[in-house]
Structure 1
Amino acid sequence: MCEYCGCREVPAIAELMDEHTALADEGHYVRQALGTGDFAGAMRLLGSLVAHLDRHVRREEDGIFLAMRAAGEFIDEIDDLEGEHRDLAAVVAALDHHSTTFAADVSRFLDDLDTHVEREDLGIFPVSVVTLGASGWATVDVARRGSPSFLLDVASTTTADANAAT
Protein backbone atom coordinates (compact mmCIF):
# COMPACT_ATOMS: atom_id res chain seq x y z
CA MET A 1 0.00 0.00 0.00
CA CYS A 2 1.18 3.48 -0.88
CA GLU A 3 2.02 5.75 2.03
CA TYR A 4 3.97 8.54 0.34
CA CYS A 5 1.69 10.36 -2.08
CA GLY A 6 -0.47 12.01 0.54
CA CYS A 7 -3.81 10.59 -0.59
CA ARG A 8 -4.31 9.06 2.87
CA GLU A 9 -4.64 12.62 4.16
CA VAL A 10 -8.07 12.71 2.51
CA PRO A 11 -10.42 11.02 5.02
CA ALA A 12 -12.61 9.33 2.39
CA ILE A 13 -9.57 7.79 0.69
CA ALA A 14 -7.95 6.80 3.98
CA GLU A 15 -11.17 5.07 5.00
CA LEU A 16 -11.35 3.08 1.76
CA MET A 17 -7.70 2.12 2.08
CA ASP A 18 -8.26 1.05 5.70
CA GLU A 19 -11.13 -1.11 4.48
CA HIS A 20 -8.76 -2.65 1.94
CA THR A 21 -6.39 -3.54 4.78
CA ALA A 22 -9.24 -5.06 6.77
CA LEU A 23 -10.36 -7.10 3.75
CA ALA A 24 -6.80 -8.39 3.32
CA ASP A 25 -6.74 -9.34 7.01
CA GLU A 26 -10.03 -11.20 6.62
CA GLY A 27 -8.56 -12.94 3.57
CA HIS A 28 -5.64 -14.06 5.71
CA TYR A 29 -8.03 -15.73 8.17
CA VAL A 30 -9.82 -17.45 5.29
CA ARG A 31 -6.47 -18.75 4.04
CA GLN A 32 -5.64 -20.01 7.54
CA ALA A 33 -8.90 -21.94 7.70
CA LEU A 34 -8.28 -23.40 4.26
CA GLY A 35 -4.77 -24.40 5.33
CA THR A 36 -6.14 -26.44 8.19
CA GLY A 37 -8.81 -28.05 6.00
CA ASP A 38 -11.62 -26.21 7.78
CA PHE A 39 -13.69 -25.50 4.67
CA ALA A 40 -16.86 -24.78 6.66
CA GLY A 41 -14.93 -22.24 8.74
CA ALA A 42 -13.42 -20.79 5.58
CA MET A 43 -16.92 -20.38 4.12
CA ARG A 44 -18.12 -18.64 7.29
CA LEU A 45 -15.15 -16.26 7.25
CA LEU A 46 -15.51 -15.78 3.52
CA GLY A 47 -19.16 -14.86 4.03
CA SER A 48 -18.13 -12.05 6.36
CA LEU A 49 -15.42 -10.89 3.95
CA VAL A 50 -17.88 -10.87 1.04
CA ALA A 51 -20.47 -8.90 3.03
CA HIS A 52 -17.80 -6.30 3.82
CA LEU A 53 -16.57 -6.32 0.23
CA ASP A 54 -20.10 -5.72 -1.06
CA ARG A 55 -20.49 -2.66 1.15
CA HIS A 56 -17.03 -1.44 0.23
CA VAL A 57 -17.68 -1.82 -3.50
CA ARG A 58 -20.95 0.07 -3.22
CA ARG A 59 -19.16 2.94 -1.47
CA GLU A 60 -16.44 3.04 -4.13
CA GLU A 61 -18.83 2.89 -7.06
CA ASP A 62 -21.35 5.36 -5.60
CA GLY A 63 -18.58 7.68 -4.43
CA ILE A 64 -15.13 7.90 -6.02
CA PHE A 65 -16.07 6.10 -9.24
CA LEU A 66 -19.27 8.07 -9.80
CA ALA A 67 -17.47 11.34 -9.09
CA MET A 68 -14.64 10.45 -11.49
CA ARG A 69 -17.18 9.58 -14.18
CA ALA A 70 -18.98 12.89 -13.66
CA ALA A 71 -15.65 14.67 -14.03
CA GLY A 72 -15.03 12.75 -17.26
CA GLU A 73 -11.75 11.47 -15.88
CA PHE A 74 -10.17 8.01 -16.23
CA ILE A 75 -13.38 6.45 -17.50
CA ASP A 76 -11.61 3.41 -19.00
CA GLU A 77 -9.91 2.68 -15.67
CA ILE A 78 -13.21 3.05 -13.80
CA ASP A 79 -14.86 0.69 -16.31
CA ASP A 80 -12.08 -1.85 -15.76
CA LEU A 81 -12.29 -1.62 -11.97
CA GLU A 82 -16.08 -1.95 -11.99
CA GLY A 83 -15.70 -4.95 -14.30
CA GLU A 84 -13.33 -6.49 -11.78
CA HIS A 85 -15.92 -5.88 -9.06
CA ARG A 86 -18.46 -7.84 -11.11
CA ASP A 87 -15.90 -10.58 -11.85
CA LEU A 88 -15.06 -10.97 -8.15
CA ALA A 89 -18.76 -11.18 -7.28
CA ALA A 90 -19.29 -13.83 -9.97
CA VAL A 91 -16.42 -15.93 -8.62
CA VAL A 92 -17.84 -15.77 -5.11
CA ALA A 93 -21.31 -16.72 -6.35
CA ALA A 94 -19.86 -19.80 -8.05
CA LEU A 95 -17.87 -21.07 -5.06
CA ASP A 96 -18.84 -24.51 -3.81
CA HIS A 97 -17.21 -25.64 -0.57
CA HIS A 98 -17.91 -29.25 -1.56
CA SER A 99 -15.85 -28.92 -4.74
CA THR A 100 -12.42 -30.54 -4.94
CA THR A 101 -11.10 -27.20 -6.23
CA PHE A 102 -12.65 -25.10 -3.44
CA ALA A 103 -9.38 -24.18 -1.70
CA ALA A 104 -7.70 -23.29 -5.00
CA ASP A 105 -10.76 -21.33 -6.15
CA VAL A 106 -10.87 -19.30 -2.92
CA SER A 107 -7.13 -18.74 -3.02
CA ARG A 108 -7.36 -17.48 -6.59
CA PHE A 109 -10.25 -15.18 -5.59
CA LEU A 110 -8.19 -13.75 -2.73
CA ASP A 111 -5.17 -13.27 -5.01
CA ASP A 112 -7.38 -11.46 -7.54
CA LEU A 113 -8.83 -9.31 -4.77
CA ASP A 114 -5.32 -8.38 -3.59
CA THR A 115 -4.34 -7.37 -7.13
CA HIS A 116 -7.53 -5.34 -7.53
CA VAL A 117 -6.96 -3.54 -4.22
CA GLU A 118 -3.43 -2.64 -5.26
CA ARG A 119 -4.72 -1.14 -8.51
CA GLU A 120 -7.10 1.07 -6.57
CA ASP A 121 -4.67 2.04 -3.81
CA LEU A 122 -1.86 2.89 -6.22
CA GLY A 123 -3.96 4.12 -9.12
CA ILE A 124 -7.43 5.56 -8.94
CA PHE A 125 -7.30 6.75 -5.32
CA PRO A 126 -4.23 8.98 -5.73
CA VAL A 127 -5.58 10.20 -9.09
CA SER A 128 -8.91 11.12 -7.50
CA VAL A 129 -7.19 13.35 -4.97
CA VAL A 130 -5.70 15.55 -7.67
CA THR A 131 -8.65 15.28 -10.07
CA LEU A 132 -11.85 15.72 -8.10
CA GLY A 133 -13.18 19.14 -7.30
CA ALA A 134 -15.71 20.20 -4.68
CA SER A 135 -18.69 18.63 -6.46
CA GLY A 136 -16.80 15.33 -6.80
CA TRP A 137 -15.98 15.24 -3.11
CA ALA A 138 -19.61 16.08 -2.34
CA THR A 139 -20.59 12.94 -4.29
CA VAL A 140 -18.07 10.93 -2.29
CA ASP A 141 -19.44 12.31 0.97
CA VAL A 142 -23.01 11.36 0.01
CA ALA A 143 -21.84 7.79 -0.63
CA ARG A 144 -20.00 7.70 2.70
CA ARG A 145 -23.07 8.88 4.59
CA GLY A 146 -25.36 6.52 2.68
CA SER A 147 -23.24 3.48 3.44
CA PRO A 148 -20.93 3.99 6.42
CA SER A 149 -17.73 1.99 6.56
CA PHE A 150 -17.99 -1.56 7.81
CA LEU A 151 -15.04 -0.66 10.04
CA LEU A 152 -17.51 1.25 12.20
CA ASP A 153 -19.54 -1.89 12.91
CA VAL A 154 -19.05 -3.15 16.45
CA ALA A 155 -19.60 -6.74 15.29
CA SER A 156 -16.83 -6.42 12.69
CA THR A 157 -14.32 -5.26 15.25
CA THR A 158 -15.34 -8.01 17.65
CA THR A 159 -15.13 -10.66 14.91
CA ALA A 160 -11.74 -9.43 13.70
CA ASP A 161 -10.40 -9.41 17.26
CA ALA A 162 -11.72 -12.93 17.87
CA ASN A 163 -10.22 -14.17 14.60
CA ALA A 164 -6.87 -12.60 15.41
CA ALA A 165 -6.84 -14.37 18.76
CA THR A 166 -7.23 -17.80 17.13
Structure 2
Amino acid sequence: MCSYCGCRSISLIGRFMDEHEDIVNAAGILQRAADGTDPHGVREALDHAIAHLHPHTSAEELGLFGVLRRNPDFTDHVDALCAEHAALDALAERIRDGETALIDRFVVELRDHIDKEENGLFPAAAIEMDGPDWEEAITLTPVAIRADDPHSHPHDDVRSH
Protein backbone atom coordinates (compact mmCIF):
# COMPACT_ATOMS: atom_id res chain seq x y z
CA MET A 1 0.00 0.00 0.00
CA CYS A 2 1.15 3.53 -0.79
CA SER A 3 2.86 5.37 2.02
CA TYR A 4 5.54 7.42 0.31
CA CYS A 5 3.74 10.52 -0.98
CA GLY A 6 1.77 11.63 2.05
CA CYS A 7 -1.61 11.49 0.33
CA ARG A 8 -2.86 9.30 3.18
CA SER A 9 -2.88 12.43 5.34
CA ILE A 10 -5.76 13.79 3.23
CA SER A 11 -8.76 12.66 5.25
CA LEU A 12 -10.78 11.20 2.37
CA ILE A 13 -7.83 9.33 0.86
CA GLY A 14 -6.77 8.11 4.30
CA ARG A 15 -10.27 6.78 4.84
CA PHE A 16 -10.27 4.97 1.49
CA MET A 17 -6.84 3.48 2.19
CA ASP A 18 -8.00 2.26 5.61
CA GLU A 19 -11.02 0.69 3.94
CA HIS A 20 -8.71 -0.95 1.38
CA GLU A 21 -6.88 -2.64 4.26
CA ASP A 22 -10.19 -3.95 5.62
CA ILE A 23 -11.19 -5.18 2.17
CA VAL A 24 -7.87 -6.95 1.59
CA ASN A 25 -8.14 -8.60 5.01
CA ALA A 26 -11.69 -9.75 4.21
CA ALA A 27 -10.48 -11.11 0.86
CA GLY A 28 -7.79 -13.05 2.72
CA ILE A 29 -10.47 -14.61 4.92
CA LEU A 30 -12.34 -15.57 1.74
CA GLN A 31 -9.22 -17.16 0.27
CA ARG A 32 -8.59 -19.16 3.44
CA ALA A 33 -12.24 -20.29 3.51
CA ALA A 34 -11.83 -21.59 -0.03
CA ASP A 35 -8.99 -23.81 1.14
CA GLY A 36 -11.47 -25.76 3.27
CA THR A 37 -14.37 -27.93 2.26
CA ASP A 38 -17.16 -25.87 3.83
CA PRO A 39 -19.22 -24.12 1.12
CA HIS A 40 -21.14 -22.28 3.83
CA GLY A 41 -17.84 -20.86 5.08
CA VAL A 42 -17.05 -19.56 1.59
CA ARG A 43 -20.45 -17.90 1.30
CA GLU A 44 -20.07 -16.34 4.74
CA ALA A 45 -16.58 -15.08 3.91
CA LEU A 46 -17.78 -13.75 0.54
CA ASP A 47 -20.66 -11.91 2.22
CA HIS A 48 -18.18 -10.44 4.70
CA ALA A 49 -15.88 -9.25 1.89
CA ILE A 50 -18.77 -7.76 -0.09
CA ALA A 51 -20.07 -6.02 3.04
CA HIS A 52 -16.76 -4.14 3.05
CA LEU A 53 -16.40 -3.71 -0.71
CA HIS A 54 -19.80 -2.36 -1.79
CA PRO A 55 -20.08 0.64 0.54
CA HIS A 56 -16.48 1.50 -0.26
CA THR A 57 -16.78 1.41 -4.05
CA SER A 58 -20.04 3.37 -3.92
CA ALA A 59 -18.41 6.03 -1.75
CA GLU A 60 -15.42 6.31 -4.11
CA GLU A 61 -17.61 6.60 -7.19
CA LEU A 62 -20.01 9.16 -5.73
CA GLY A 63 -17.36 11.39 -4.18
CA LEU A 64 -13.74 11.42 -5.28
CA PHE A 65 -14.31 9.74 -8.64
CA GLY A 66 -17.25 12.02 -9.43
CA VAL A 67 -15.15 15.13 -8.91
CA LEU A 68 -12.13 13.74 -10.76
CA ARG A 69 -14.23 12.51 -13.69
CA ARG A 70 -14.98 16.12 -14.69
CA ASN A 71 -11.30 16.66 -15.46
CA PRO A 72 -10.62 15.33 -18.98
CA ASP A 73 -7.18 14.15 -17.85
CA PHE A 74 -8.86 11.76 -15.37
CA THR A 75 -12.12 10.77 -17.09
CA ASP A 76 -10.87 7.64 -18.86
CA HIS A 77 -8.89 6.44 -15.85
CA VAL A 78 -11.81 6.93 -13.46
CA ASP A 79 -14.17 5.20 -15.88
CA ALA A 80 -11.74 2.25 -16.11
CA LEU A 81 -11.61 1.99 -12.30
CA CYS A 82 -15.43 2.05 -12.14
CA ALA A 83 -15.51 -0.73 -14.75
CA GLU A 84 -13.16 -2.72 -12.53
CA HIS A 85 -15.58 -2.23 -9.62
CA ALA A 86 -18.32 -3.74 -11.80
CA ALA A 87 -16.03 -6.60 -12.89
CA LEU A 88 -15.22 -7.41 -9.25
CA ASP A 89 -18.96 -7.46 -8.49
CA ALA A 90 -19.54 -9.84 -11.41
CA LEU A 91 -16.77 -12.16 -10.19
CA ALA A 92 -18.24 -12.10 -6.67
CA GLU A 93 -21.64 -13.11 -8.05
CA ARG A 94 -20.10 -16.01 -9.95
CA ILE A 95 -18.35 -17.12 -6.75
CA ARG A 96 -21.67 -16.84 -4.90
CA ASP A 97 -23.20 -19.07 -7.59
CA GLY A 98 -20.66 -21.76 -6.80
CA GLU A 99 -17.65 -20.97 -9.00
CA THR A 100 -15.25 -21.02 -6.06
CA ALA A 101 -12.29 -21.64 -8.39
CA LEU A 102 -12.58 -17.89 -9.19
CA ILE A 103 -11.66 -16.81 -5.66
CA ASP A 104 -7.94 -16.52 -6.36
CA ARG A 105 -8.66 -14.49 -9.51
CA PHE A 106 -11.00 -12.25 -7.52
CA VAL A 107 -8.32 -11.59 -4.90
CA VAL A 108 -5.61 -10.91 -7.50
CA GLU A 109 -7.84 -8.52 -9.45
CA LEU A 110 -8.92 -6.81 -6.24
CA ARG A 111 -5.32 -6.25 -5.12
CA ASP A 112 -4.35 -5.00 -8.60
CA HIS A 113 -7.28 -2.59 -8.55
CA ILE A 114 -6.35 -1.25 -5.12
CA ASP A 115 -2.76 -0.79 -6.29
CA LYS A 116 -3.98 1.34 -9.22
CA GLU A 117 -5.91 3.56 -6.84
CA GLU A 118 -3.29 3.86 -4.12
CA ASN A 119 -0.22 4.21 -6.31
CA GLY A 120 -1.81 6.04 -9.21
CA LEU A 121 -5.10 7.82 -8.74
CA PHE A 122 -4.79 8.89 -5.11
CA PRO A 123 -1.36 10.56 -5.44
CA ALA A 124 -2.47 12.20 -8.71
CA ALA A 125 -5.64 13.48 -7.02
CA ALA A 126 -3.57 14.86 -4.15
CA ILE A 127 -1.58 16.90 -6.65
CA GLU A 128 -4.43 17.89 -8.96
CA MET A 129 -7.28 18.75 -6.62
CA ASP A 130 -7.53 21.98 -4.66
CA GLY A 131 -9.41 22.87 -1.47
CA PRO A 132 -12.85 23.39 -3.04
CA ASP A 133 -12.48 20.12 -4.99
CA TRP A 134 -11.73 18.23 -1.77
CA GLU A 135 -14.63 19.88 0.05
CA GLU A 136 -16.98 18.86 -2.77
CA ALA A 137 -15.62 15.31 -2.85
CA ILE A 138 -16.07 15.00 0.92
CA THR A 139 -19.60 16.40 0.72
CA LEU A 140 -20.55 13.97 -2.06
CA THR A 141 -18.98 10.94 -0.36
CA PRO A 142 -21.45 8.95 1.69
CA VAL A 143 -20.42 7.58 5.04
CA ALA A 144 -19.55 3.94 4.43
CA ILE A 145 -21.77 1.68 6.51
CA ARG A 146 -20.94 -2.02 6.48
CA ALA A 147 -23.83 -4.38 6.91
CA ASP A 148 -21.77 -6.52 9.29
CA ASP A 149 -20.65 -3.66 11.56
CA PRO A 150 -23.08 -3.27 14.47
CA HIS A 151 -21.17 -0.22 15.67
CA SER A 152 -21.71 1.86 12.52
CA HIS A 153 -24.67 4.17 12.45
CA PRO A 154 -25.80 6.60 9.76
CA HIS A 155 -24.88 9.54 12.00
CA ASP A 156 -21.26 8.40 12.43
CA ASP A 157 -19.07 10.68 10.33
CA VAL A 158 -15.91 8.81 9.41
CA ARG A 159 -14.79 11.67 7.17
CA SER A 160 -13.43 13.56 10.16
CA HIS A 161 -10.88 10.84 10.96
Say whether the fold is shared (TM-score over 0.5): yes
Q: 2:143 aligns with which of 121, 125, 148?
A: 148
Gaps of 5+ in 2: 153-161
2:51 maps to 51
Aligned to 2:92: 92
Task: Compute the displacement of 1:154 (Å).
Answer: 4.3
How many angstroms apart in 1 are the aligned matches of 2:40 and 2:139?
Answer: 37
Q: Tell me, what secondary structure is at the counterpart of 1:5? A: coil
User: Could you tell me the TM-score, scaled by structure 2's length?
Assistant: 0.84
Superimposed CA distance per residue, residues 48-86 of structure 1 (whole angstroms, 9 cap, x where no aligned partner): 211221110111111111111223331111111011111
CA contact (8 A) 1:23 1:49 kept: yes
Following the alignment from structure 1 to structure 2, what is the Cα–Cα distance between the partners of residues 156 and 22? Answer: 15
Supply the AA of the counterpart residue of 1:115: D
Q: Which residue number corresponds to residue 155 of structure 2?
A: none
2:22–2:52 CA contact under 8 A, matched in 1: no
Amino acid at match of 1:133: D
2-side partners of 1:134 and 1:122: how far apart?
Answer: 21
Shift of 1:155: 3.0
Structure 1 residue matching 2:59: 3-state secondary structure: helix
Counterpart of 2:157 in structure 1 is: none
Taking a change above 3 Å as real, the CA distance of residues 29 and 156 of structure 1, as seen in their structure-2 partners, is farther
Percent of aligned pairs sharing the same letter: 29
Moved more, 14-23 or 103-112: 103-112
- Which sections of structure 1, spanning at least 5 residues, go unmatched? 158-166
Question: 2:114 is matched with which residue?
Answer: 117
Contact kept? 1:19, 1:149, Cα under 8 Å: no
Calculate the TM-score normalised by the size of structure 1: 0.82
- Counterpart position of 1:135: 132
1:25 and 1:94 map into 2 onto residues whose CA distance is 21
May I ask how many residue pairs the two structures share in their alignment?
Answer: 151
Tell me the secondary structure at the aligned position of residue 73 of structure 1. Answer: helix
> Take 1:78 and 1:71, find their aligned partners in 2: how far apart are those partners?
10
Q: Which amino acid aligns with 1:143?
A: L
Distance 1:156 1:26 in 2: 18
Say if 1:71 and 1:136, in contact at 8 Å, map to a contact too. no
Describe how 1:2-81 pairs up with structure 2 within 5 A: 2-81=2-81
The letter for the 2-side match of 1:95 is I
- CA shift, 1:33, in A, is 1.1
Counterpart CA distance in 2 for 1:22 and 1:156 is 15
Q: 1:71 to 1:133 in 2, by over 3 A?
A: farther
Task: Name the structure 2 match of 1:164.
Answer: none
